[in-house]
Protein backbone atom coordinates (compact mmCIF):
# COMPACT_ATOMS: atom_id res chain seq x y z
CA UNK A 1 0.00 0.00 0.00
CA UNK A 2 1.27 3.46 -0.83
CA UNK A 3 2.47 5.56 2.08
CA UNK A 4 -0.43 7.54 3.44
CA UNK A 5 0.14 11.25 3.93
CA UNK A 6 -2.30 13.21 6.03
CA UNK A 7 -3.56 16.06 3.83
CA UNK A 8 -3.25 19.68 4.93
CA UNK A 9 -6.50 21.63 5.33
CA UNK A 10 -6.01 23.27 1.93
CA UNK A 11 -5.36 19.87 0.30
CA UNK A 12 -8.37 18.40 2.05
CA UNK A 13 -10.79 21.09 0.85
CA UNK A 14 -9.31 21.01 -2.66
CA UNK A 15 -9.94 17.27 -2.71
CA UNK A 16 -13.55 18.00 -1.74
CA UNK A 17 -13.75 20.39 -4.69
CA UNK A 18 -12.36 17.63 -6.93
CA UNK A 19 -15.03 15.29 -5.56
CA UNK A 20 -17.75 17.89 -6.26
CA UNK A 21 -16.50 18.15 -9.86
CA UNK A 22 -17.46 14.50 -10.37
CA UNK A 23 -21.09 15.70 -10.43
CA UNK A 24 -20.47 18.09 -13.36
CA UNK A 25 -22.62 17.50 -16.42
CA UNK A 26 -20.80 19.32 -19.27
CA UNK A 27 -18.33 17.10 -21.14
CA UNK A 28 -16.25 20.14 -22.11
CA UNK A 29 -15.26 20.88 -18.54
CA UNK A 30 -15.64 19.39 -15.06
CA UNK A 31 -15.19 21.95 -12.29
CA UNK A 32 -15.83 21.86 -8.57
CA UNK A 33 -15.97 24.60 -5.95
CA UNK A 34 -16.18 24.43 -2.16
CA UNK A 35 -16.72 27.53 0.00
CA UNK A 36 -15.15 27.25 3.44
CA UNK A 37 -15.05 29.53 6.48
CA UNK A 38 -13.23 28.65 9.70
CA UNK A 39 -12.68 25.12 8.34
CA UNK A 40 -16.44 24.78 7.97
CA UNK A 41 -17.88 23.84 4.59
CA UNK A 42 -20.51 26.46 3.70
CA UNK A 43 -21.51 25.06 0.32
CA UNK A 44 -20.34 23.10 -2.69
CA UNK A 45 -20.93 23.48 -6.42
CA UNK A 46 -20.06 22.02 -9.79
CA UNK A 47 -20.82 23.18 -13.32
CA UNK A 48 -24.26 21.97 -14.27
CA UNK A 49 -27.53 22.89 -15.96
CA UNK A 50 -30.26 24.93 -14.34
CA UNK A 51 -32.60 22.90 -12.11
CA UNK A 52 -34.97 20.85 -14.25
CA UNK A 53 -33.10 21.59 -17.49
CA UNK A 54 -31.42 18.91 -19.62
CA UNK A 55 -27.72 18.11 -19.19
CA UNK A 56 -25.04 18.72 -21.82
CA UNK A 57 -23.97 15.09 -21.58
CA UNK A 58 -27.52 14.05 -22.62
CA UNK A 59 -28.48 16.67 -25.23
CA UNK A 60 -25.14 18.21 -26.22
CA UNK A 61 -23.58 21.52 -25.32
CA UNK A 62 -25.12 24.91 -26.05
CA UNK A 63 -22.27 26.76 -27.71
CA UNK A 64 -22.12 30.54 -27.97
CA UNK A 65 -18.84 32.16 -29.07
CA UNK A 66 -16.98 28.88 -28.62
CA UNK A 67 -18.12 28.49 -24.98
CA UNK A 68 -20.81 26.20 -23.61
CA UNK A 69 -23.37 28.44 -21.91
CA UNK A 70 -25.82 25.75 -20.77
CA UNK A 71 -24.33 25.39 -17.29
CA UNK A 72 -23.82 27.62 -14.35
CA UNK A 73 -20.18 27.37 -13.35
CA UNK A 74 -19.11 25.66 -10.14
CA UNK A 75 -18.39 28.93 -8.32
CA UNK A 76 -21.79 30.39 -9.21
CA UNK A 77 -23.56 27.20 -8.15
CA UNK A 78 -21.71 27.20 -4.82
CA UNK A 79 -22.75 30.83 -4.24
CA UNK A 80 -26.32 30.06 -5.30
CA UNK A 81 -26.51 27.10 -2.94
CA UNK A 82 -25.33 29.35 -0.11
CA UNK A 83 -27.95 31.96 -1.08
CA UNK A 84 -30.74 29.39 -1.17
CA UNK A 85 -29.83 28.25 2.33
CA UNK A 86 -29.24 31.71 3.78
CA UNK A 87 -25.50 31.16 4.34
CA UNK A 88 -23.23 34.19 4.70
CA UNK A 89 -20.12 33.82 2.50
CA UNK A 90 -18.31 36.98 3.61
CA UNK A 91 -14.70 36.21 4.53
CA UNK A 92 -14.80 32.68 3.14
CA UNK A 93 -12.20 30.84 1.06
CA UNK A 94 -13.16 29.39 -2.35
CA UNK A 95 -11.47 26.10 -3.24
CA UNK A 96 -11.76 25.57 -6.99
CA UNK A 97 -10.43 22.94 -9.36
CA UNK A 98 -10.04 25.39 -12.25
CA UNK A 99 -9.06 29.03 -12.18
CA UNK A 100 -12.22 31.14 -12.36
CA UNK A 101 -13.49 32.79 -15.49
CA UNK A 102 -13.86 36.56 -15.26
CA UNK A 103 -17.58 36.38 -14.43
CA UNK A 104 -17.15 33.87 -11.59
CA UNK A 105 -14.23 35.84 -10.15
CA UNK A 106 -16.42 38.96 -10.02
CA UNK A 107 -19.25 37.02 -8.35
CA UNK A 108 -16.93 35.52 -5.71
CA UNK A 109 -15.42 38.94 -4.98
CA UNK A 110 -18.85 40.55 -4.67
CA UNK A 111 -19.93 37.75 -2.31
CA UNK A 112 -17.06 38.63 0.03
CA UNK A 113 -14.66 35.76 -0.76
CA UNK A 114 -11.23 36.72 0.61
CA UNK A 115 -9.04 33.82 -0.53
CA UNK A 116 -9.02 31.53 -3.55
CA UNK A 117 -7.16 28.20 -3.59
CA UNK A 118 -6.72 26.50 -6.95
CA UNK A 119 -4.43 23.96 -8.60
CA UNK A 120 -5.09 24.51 -12.30
CA UNK A 121 -3.14 26.74 -14.60
CA UNK A 122 -4.41 30.25 -14.96
CA UNK A 123 -6.30 31.11 -18.10
CA UNK A 124 -6.31 34.20 -20.21
CA UNK A 125 -9.07 35.97 -18.33
CA UNK A 126 -9.35 39.06 -16.15
CA UNK A 127 -9.92 36.92 -13.04
CA UNK A 128 -6.43 37.38 -11.62
CA UNK A 129 -6.55 41.11 -12.23
CA UNK A 130 -9.92 41.47 -10.50
CA UNK A 131 -8.81 39.29 -7.56
CA UNK A 132 -5.63 41.34 -7.16
CA UNK A 133 -7.43 44.67 -7.37
CA UNK A 134 -9.94 43.53 -4.75
CA UNK A 135 -7.34 42.20 -2.33
CA UNK A 136 -8.32 38.55 -2.72
CA UNK A 137 -5.41 36.24 -1.95
CA UNK A 138 -4.77 33.67 -4.69
CA UNK A 139 -3.04 30.47 -3.57
CA UNK A 140 -1.89 28.15 -6.32
CA UNK A 141 -1.16 24.64 -5.09
CA UNK A 142 -0.04 21.43 -6.70
CA UNK A 143 -2.93 19.15 -7.52
CA UNK A 144 -3.69 17.09 -4.40
CA UNK A 145 -3.32 13.36 -4.60
CA UNK A 146 -6.28 12.00 -6.58
CA UNK A 147 -6.48 8.91 -4.43
CA UNK A 148 -8.84 8.71 -1.46
CA UNK A 149 -7.40 6.64 1.36
CA UNK A 150 -10.35 4.78 2.69
CA UNK A 151 -8.91 1.85 4.49
CA UNK A 152 -11.55 -0.84 4.32
CA UNK A 153 -9.28 -3.59 5.50
CA UNK A 154 -8.05 -2.10 8.73
CA UNK A 155 -11.10 -0.34 10.11
CA UNK A 156 -13.89 -2.66 11.10
CA UNK A 157 -16.51 0.10 10.93
CA UNK A 158 -15.92 0.41 7.20
CA UNK A 159 -16.36 -3.21 6.20
CA UNK A 160 -18.05 -3.82 2.91
CA UNK A 161 -21.58 -5.12 3.02
CA UNK A 162 -22.72 -8.03 0.90
CA UNK A 163 -24.27 -5.50 -1.47
CA UNK A 164 -21.24 -3.24 -1.88
CA UNK A 165 -18.65 -5.99 -2.37
Which spans of this chain sit near Zn ion (rule: CB under 5 A)? 26, 56, 61, 68, 70, 73, 101, 104
Q: Closer CB to Zn ion, residue 77 or residue 93? A: 77
Count Cβ neighbours within 10 Å for each residue of 68-96 and write b for 16 or more, e otherwise.
bebbbbbbbbbbbbbeeeeeebeebbbbb
Q: Nearest distance from residue 94's CB to Zn ion, in Å?
A: 11
Q: What are phi and psi of 124, to 5 degrees?
A: -85, 70
Q: Closer CB to Zn ion, residue 30 or residue 70? A: 70
d(CA 90, CA 137): 14
Q: Nearest distance from residue 19's CB to Zn ion, in Å?
A: 19
Q: CA geometry: angle at 61 spanning 56 and 64, to 5°?
A: 145
Selecting among 11, 22, 57, 75, the annotated active-site residue is 75
Q: Closer CB to Zn ion, residue 36 or residue 99? A: 99
d(CA 30, CA 82): 20
CB atoms within 10 A of CB 134: 14
Cβ within 8 Å of residue 3, ≥6 positions away: none
Q: Nearest distance from residue 78's CB to Zn ion, in Å?
A: 11
Active site residue 3: no
d(CA 60, CA 5): 40
Q: Nearest distance from residue 61's CB to Zn ion, in Å?
A: 3
Q: Closer CB to Zn ion, residue 61 or residue 145? A: 61
Catalytically active residues, by annotation: 75
Amino acid sequence: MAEKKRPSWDEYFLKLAMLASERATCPRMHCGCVLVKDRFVLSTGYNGSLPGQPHCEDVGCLIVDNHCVRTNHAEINALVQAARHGVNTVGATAYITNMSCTTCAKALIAAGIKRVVVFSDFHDTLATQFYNQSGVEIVKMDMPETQIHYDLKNYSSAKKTEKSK
